[in-house]
Amino acid sequence: MLGTLSSVGRGLGSVPFLETLNERSSSAFRATVISLSQLEVRASFSLLGPLVGDGIGVWGLPSVLSALGILFSIAFVGLLLPLVLWETALSPADERRA
């Protein structure tokens, strides 16, 4: 069940992300930008995996999962807030053009 939800969540998140990348990057650099974004995801998994495994061995599963939850919550808010503020800053200009 958790694996299915993970795949669905990843799919739902990647579609708007890739759509935004396609809209905002020029055709000359689009493939490079998408490749680098995928490289970042894979690199973060390859670095985070062994750290999580070692952490589970040292501190136990509940502590590591709690720390990951806090870390990803902070990262989510830290990445989401600038996007929301940037989008609202662009909205009045978009309305004036229309």
Cα atoms found within 13 Å of the Cα of residue 47, Cβ hemisphere only? 6
22 and 3: one domain?
yes
The total domain count for the chain is 2
Per-residue model confidence as pLDDT tens digits over 10-49: 776 677 777 777 787 788 888 888 888 889 888 988 998 9
Cβ atoms of 20 and 7 within 8 Å: the answer is: no
Domain with 3 in it: 1-59
45 and 11: one domain?
yes
67 and 39: one domain?
no
Token pair for 36: 């680098």
Question: Structure pTM?
Answer: 0.58
Per-residue model confidence as pLDDT tens digits over 39-69: 988 898 899 899 999 999 999 999 999 998 8
70 and 40: one domain?
no
43 and 20: one domain?
yes
Q: Among 16, 34, 2, 7, which residue's Cα sits nearest to residue 80?
A: 16
